[in-house]
Amino acid sequence: MKPIELKKGIYWVGVVDWNVRSFHGHTYTTKRGTTYNAYLIVDEKICLVDTVFGPFAGEMIARIREIVDPARIDYIIANHVETDHSGALPALMRLCPQAIVLGTEKCKEGLYKHYFGDWTFQVVKTGDTLSLGKRSLTFMEAPMIHWPDSMFTYCPQEELLLPNDAFGQHLASSERFDDEVDQCALMDEAKTYYANILWPLSTLILRKLEEVRKLDLAISMIAPSHGIIWRKDPLKIVHAYAAWAKQEPADKVVIAYETMWGATERMARAISEGLRDAGVEFALYNVAETDRTQVITEMLDAKGFLFGSSTHDNDMLPAIAGFLELVKGFKPKKRLAGAFGSYGWAGGAVKEIEAVVKEAGIEPALPSLGIRFMPDEKELKACYQFGVDFGMKIKGG
C-alpha cells in the first residue's frame, strides 16, 4: 500500500495489521484486526506524528521512503508511549539520529524506560506550538486518555486533529477514510474500542471534550492512531464519545453467566423470559463461550447487569470470575445489578458476585437468587419473577 495523502503534503504512512486477534494482553479481542497509523507532514520541516508497532517498522519506513528520505525527518511527535505507537522508534531513530522527539514529560520518561534511547527529547505542554514552516502544530496534554503520557496534536492551518488512541477503532481495511467503509462496522468498532478501553475513563473524557469545545477549534478531519480517519463527518465520533461518556444507558439488560451442568443456564433463560414480559430488551451470554469483548460492548449502553454462576469450590466459575474482574475496573455508573446461580451444597458463587458488584460501585438492585441443583417448575417460576422484578426496576418501577 502506498502512502495516502490526507491533506496536501500530509500522508498516512502507517500499517494495517490484518491478523492481530488480541490486544492489551488478551483483554481485548480484535476480530477485525487493526491499523497503526503514523502521519508524515512535509513542510519546510519534516515531521512524523507517531510511529507503529515494532514488528512493522520496516514497512512504515518503506512507506516514508516513498515520500522523503527518512534521514531528513526533523521532528517526531510521540503522542503516546504505548508500544503499538512507539515500537518503531528505535529503528527509525537509527536513520534520523538528529531528529527531535517531542512529547509530554511522562512520555519522555516512558520512552526511555521502554527503549533506553539516547535521543534528543523536547518536552511539550498544553498550548505549546511547533512551527513547521507554513504549518504549525499545537499540543494538548490528555493525561489518562488513556495513559498518563497521552497527548493530542492539532494543526490549525489544516483543521486536523491527531488525537492518537482517542476516536480510534480496531478495524483493518484496505480503505483509510470514514466515507469509504461500512458505517455499521465502523461505529461498531468505535463503540467496542470505547467500551473496552475508555469506559473507565469516562469522567476524564467528558472533561476533555468540554475543554476542547471551549477552545472552539475548527476540525475538518480527525486522524486517530488506529483504524479509519474521520473526514466526512468528524464530529460524528465526537458526539458518540460524548454520549458514551455521559453514561446514560438504555432500558436494556445484559445477562452474563457461566454454567457447569446447565442449571444456571436454565435459570438465565427463565430470567430472560421475565425481562421480556416486563418489556425490557435483553441480551444473554455465556461468557465461557462468547467473546467477552463483545459482551462488554453490549454492556456499555445497558442499564442492567445480571451475573450468574454455578458454585464451584464455594466460588464462581473461572470464566465469569475473570469477566467480572474486568467489569469491576470499569466502575460503571447509573447501573442496576443482580446475581443468580445454582449450587449443590454451598451457594458461594452469588455471594462472590455480590461482592464484586459492590466493589464495582453498584448496589445490587434485588436479593440474589440461588437454587440448589436443577430448578424445578416452581423454581423456574421464581427465576421468571426475578426477571420481571428486575425489569420493573430497570423501568423505574
User: Catalytic site residues?
Assistant: 24, 80, 82, 84, 146, 165, 193, 226
φ, ψ for residue 153 (rounded to 5)? -120, 135
What are the Cα distances from residue 155, in Å, to 6, 104, 125? Answer: 13, 17, 15
CB neighbours of residue 65 within 10 Å: 14
In the complex, the smallest distance separating the C-beta of residue 59 from ligand FEO, rounded to whole angstroms, is 17
Helix (H) or strand (E) holding 144: none
Per CB under 6 A, does 85 bind ligand FEO?
yes
Please identify, using beta-carbon distances, which residue of 84 and 354 lies nearer to ligand FEO: 84
Please identify, using beta-carbon distances, which residue of 135 and 226 lies nearer to ligand FEO: 226
- Record the cell numbers describing residue 287, joined without a space: 461468557
Secondary structure class of 30 (helix, strand, coil): coil
* Residues between 1 and 30 with contacts to ligand FEO, criterion CB under 6 A: none
Whether the CB-CB separation of 4 and 11 falls below 8 Å is answered with: yes
Please identify, using beta-carbon distances, which residue of 30 and 311 lies nearer to ligand FEO: 30
What are the Cα distances from residue 31, in Å, to 19, 289, 294? Answer: 9, 15, 10
Please identify, using beta-carbon distances, which residue of 146 and 393 lies nearer to ligand FEO: 146
Which residue in the set 226, 231, 335, 393 belongs to the binding site for ligand FEO (CB under 6 A)? 226
Secondary structure class of 60 (helix, strand, coil): helix
Which residue in the set 50, 84, 189, 265 belongs to the binding site for ligand FEO (CB under 6 A)? 84
CB neighbours of residue 51 within 10 Å: 32
Whether the CB-CB separation of 255 and 274 falls below 8 Å is answered with: no
Give the chain's end-to-end CA distance (angstroms, integer). 56
Q: Give the number of residues in contact with ligand FEO, rule: CB under 6 A.
A: 9
In the complex, the smallest distance separating the C-beta of residue 397 from ligand FEO, rounded to whole angstroms, is 42
Please identify, using beta-carbon distances, which residue of 85 and 335 lies nearer to ligand FEO: 85
Binding segment toward ligand FEO, per CB under 6 A, in 76-84, 238-246, 262-270, 334-342: 76-84
Binding segment toward ligand FEO, per CB under 6 A, in 61-69, 80-88, 175-183, 203-211: 80-88
Per CB under 6 A, does 178 bind ligand FEO?
no
What is the residue whose three cell numbers read 496534554? 141
d(CA 397, CA 165): 40
d(CA 103, CA 88): 16
Which residue in the set 153, 169, 202, 225 belongs to the binding site for ligand FEO (CB under 6 A)? 225
* Residues between 137 and 166 with contacts to ligand FEO, criterion CB under 6 A: 146-147, 165
d(CA 53, CA 192): 21
User: Hey, which residues does 77 pair with through a beta bridge?
Assistant: 49, 102
- Record the cell numbers describing residue 335, joined without a space: 447501573
Binding segment toward ligand FEO, per CB under 6 A, in 82-90, 234-242, 257-265, 305-313: 82-90
Binding segment toward ligand FEO, per CB under 6 A, in 10-18, 77-85, 231-239, 256-264: 77-85
Helix, strand, coil in percent for the chain, rounding step 5: 40, 25, 35
Closest-CA residue to 164 (of 84, 109, 233, 237): 84
In the complex, the smallest distance separating the C-beta of residue 197 from ligand FEO, rounded to whole angstroms, is 8
In the complex, the smallest distance separating the C-beta of residue 97 from ligand FEO, rounded to whole angstroms, is 25
In the complex, the smallest distance separating the C-beta of residue 86 from ligand FEO, rounded to whole angstroms, is 9
Site string for ligand FEO, 104-143 (x = CB under 6 A): ----------------------------------------
Helix (H) or strand (E) holding 111: helix 105-115
Per CB under 6 A, does 189 bind ligand FEO?
no
Site string for ligand FEO, 311-350 (x = CB under 6 A): ----------------------------------------
Q: Which residues bind ligand FEO (CB under 6 A)?
A: 80, 82, 84-85, 146-147, 165, 225-226
